[in-house]
Amino acid sequence: MQVFTDIGGLIIDMDGVLWHGDQALPGLEAFFATLRELQLPFVLATNNASITAEQYVGKLSAMRVEIGRREILTSGMATALYLSERYPASHTRVYAIGGAGLRQPLRDKGFVLLEEHDPGPADLVVSGLDKTLNWDKLCNAALHIQAGAGFYGSNGDVTLPSERGFLPGNGATLAALTAATGVMPITIGKPAPIIYQQALALLGQAPERVIAIGDRLDTDILGAVRTGIRSVLVLSGISREEDIPRLDYAPTWVMRDIRELTEALRR
């Protein structure tokens, strides 16, 4: 296996890489202990916008791994930052489908969030993974989009790995709204390079000195390729090694899981 060289930081996916649902994957504690021992900075960058950075810190703490809030970047946080750079937040009304992981970053940036009973009009519809998704939310979002609201998705993942198997992701919600409105959303998370570029800024590193780790070829790896950074595909989540020859892009390395990655980092 090729030896890692000139690493200034890591951008690490979470679902399918560190855990399945609430079940930590083998080698989790040793992996983070190695990162701390090597003084290797990292950003945990996830397309999952269902929970907040603070909740991710708590989830990892329950798995006996301590990290700081500044080491987390969710697609909800990335979406709020992206939109705040393009819209006057205090004058922009947002209808958001999603949990606290999407809604709180939007509030933190000063956006006005419409409630379910508020008829609008909305300037933007923003959708993230929503585990309480229902018919009324889909109807409200569709009506706002049909009335001219801008349509954004925190990410386009159609599935979400869990201890039960692969569940519908935010991409499934976006597909339903696109079918109902004929409007395609702008997505902020991987494979768009936006979230990776924001993570690079947090690390303070040039793209050539950073490695992305992920379990999905169509999001984690493609996003890394589009951003110009090296990547590791771990086979503990969605994608399989036999999927690679069918694509016109590829990860720099393929590894079984974070245990193999830990061994490689220690060489």
* Catalytic residue numbers, as ranges: 13, 15
Q: What is the C-alpha to C-alpha distance for residues 214 and 232, in angstroms, rounded to an integer?
A: 6
**Which DSSP string corresponds to 133-172?**
--HHHHHHHHHHHHTT-EEEES---SEEEETTEEEE-HHH
Q: What is the rounded (10 degree) CA torsion for 263, 192, 98, 100?
A: 50
Whether 82 contacts 75, CB under 8 Å? no
Q: DSSP string spanning 29-62? A: HHHHHHHHHTT--EEEEES--SS-HHHHHHHHHH
Token pair listed for 257: 């899981």
CA distance 27 to 235: 14
Burial of 55 (0-12, 13-18, 19+ CB in 10 A): middle
